[in-house]
Amino acid sequence: MGKSVVVIGAGIAGMSAAFDLQSAGYEVTVIESGNFVGGRMADQDINGINVHTGASVIFSFNKAMFDLIDELGISDDLYAFPDKNEGYNVEHGDETYKLKLTFDPIFLLTHPAFGFKTKAKLAALLPDMIKAGLQTDPCMMHTAAHLDDENVTDYITRKVTKEFLEKYVEPYFRAPWHWEPEQISRAYLLSLLGHIVGGKLLSFKTGIGHLSRTLGNRLDVKLNTRVVEAGYDDSGCRLTIEHDGATEAVTCDFVVCAIPGTLVNSVVKGLSTDAEAFFDTVRYNRGARIYYAVDGVQLQPRDTWFTRHSACKFSLFYAMPTDSLVPEGFKQPQYLQCELSPQLSEAIEKEGGQQRLDSYVRDELERLCPEAAGKVTAVAEQWWDNMLTEWYPGYTKGMAEFLKQQEDTPARMYFCGDYLSQSHTGGACASGRGVAAAIRRHWE
């Protein structure tokens, strides 16, 4: 049996697969079109500000990822965020209140923002949460396919109240994930809530990209190299790659395709009709984030999430006087972090304004933080066309069918990524490690 593997994409899914296959004796090459490893689990220096390329935290229930961290010997480099018992600020129209990042029933039952009806009906949510906690893997959405029958808005309104939807669920979906609850299946919500009670949030002492950098240093990664086309048959795989304007033909025994699902049909040739149809169902949301470095005034810590009842252009606004979780040797300035609302991001995309985000929100920034007016020294803009997989009703069931076919059938090309697992880095890691295990199971 041949043992050469090309992994397309150096995100955490692709590199997790590559590491496991390399450890098992395969000759592995990772090809990445960008100029850094990690995808959406990395740090970048943009205009003197260290920014996250996507994820900013690791959930404590990411078992496959923590196993990998142990295997790499970097467990001591983890940083656990302290529990924030008072919660985060949420602005809901004229009302401001606190929410915790984790689901805390006692906190909610004594919360002044929720009325008696909401508190009385919260108990109806607990049996579904408990079942989901027992039946689902929080890193693999296909285990929640049996719950993929209703959107979050309809489910929470029916099960609890519209008040709980708007004041609790909506800010969580808008701030970290850039979704609105009517877009997402209840399968996603329950697979998360079933495991997040008592959960912890972590990162690395030298930034969220530490895991990706460690993997990149142990793998053969070719940056700034694009796969123009990839094909396969029973004998192996053939790729056309492009680097510095020159193209090259590459052959290998297996390919692990770890690019966004929306790009697969344009790169991979020879897919079955059913596979092509599945990849046509993959959707991602768009997203936009801006960091502002501020000098000449001392910022005060602030964190606020905004619901649709607020007129704010942001879904999230942070003021960070200090941030020590950055790569070794980097001096991070104090900064303001702003996540644009889903509605504003959609409008920007329609107008083609993805490269001038600051022009849309500088007035809002100075309204929320007037002391920063005239004190901004640098701006770092980020725009994602493929930010997070959109787990719309019906998608999880279709994904589960595709994944079962991949798990059951030996092939020369395998697929992994967040769109086949979960919309967090732990899911992407679990997907990559799962694909590596499938290749070994099928071919060894």
pLDDT of the residue at 344: 96
Residues 6+ apart with CB under 8 A from 373: 366
Strands 314-320 and 335-340, by their bridges, are antiparallel
**Cα–chain-centroid distance for residue 20?**
22
Q: How confident is the model at residue 105 (pLDDT cuts 50, 70, 90)?
A: confident
Q: Is the pLDDT of residue 282 over 70?
A: yes
Q: Taking the model in full, what pTM does it have?
A: 0.95
State pLDDT tens for residues 52-78.
999 999 999 999 999 999 999 999 999
Listed in sequence order, the residues at least 6 apart from 255 whose beta carbon sits closer than 8 Å to its beta carbon are 5, 6, 7, 8, 230, 232, 237, 239, 412, 413, 414
pLDDT of residue 64: 97
CA distance 25 to 21: 7
| Structure confidence by residue, pLDDT tens digits, 123-146 | 999 999 999 999 999 999 999 999
d(CA 145, CA 143): 6
Q: What pLDDT score does 16 carry?
A: 98
Class at the top of the CATH hierarchy for domain 4-42+59-75+210-283+392-443: alpha beta
- CATH code for the domain defined by 103-195: 1.10.3110.10
- pLDDT over 70 percentage in the chain: 99
Closest to 169 measured CA to CA, from 220, 125, 110: 125
Residues near 59 by beta carbon (within 8 Å), at least 6 away in sequence: 138, 196, 199, 200, 201, 202, 424, 426
The pLDDT score that the predictor gives to residue 2 is 65
1: pLDDT confidence band, cut at 50, 70 and 90? low
Orientation angle between helical segments 152-159 and 186-196, nearest 10 degrees: 60
Mean pLDDT of the chain: 95
Q: How confident is the model at residue 85 (pLDDT cuts 50, 70, 90)?
A: low
155/175 Cα distance (integer angstroms): 20
What pLDDT does 84 receive?
64
Asked whether residue 364 carries a pLDDT value surpassing 60, the answer given is: yes
pLDDT of amino acid 427: 97
Residue 145 neighbours by CB under 8 Å, 6+ apart: 187, 396, 397, 399, 400
Distance CA 356, CA 349 (A): 11
Judge whether residue 216 has pLDDT over 80.
Answer: yes
pLDDT digits (tens, 9 = 90+) for 238-272: 999 999 999 999 999 999 999 999 999 999 999 99
**Per-domain residue ranges for the chain?**
4-42+59-75+210-283+392-443, 103-195, 287-384
Residue 106, pLDDT > 90, answer: no
Question: What CA–CA distance (Å, rounded) separates 62 from 154?
Answer: 29
pLDDT tens for each residue of 19-30: 999 999 999 999
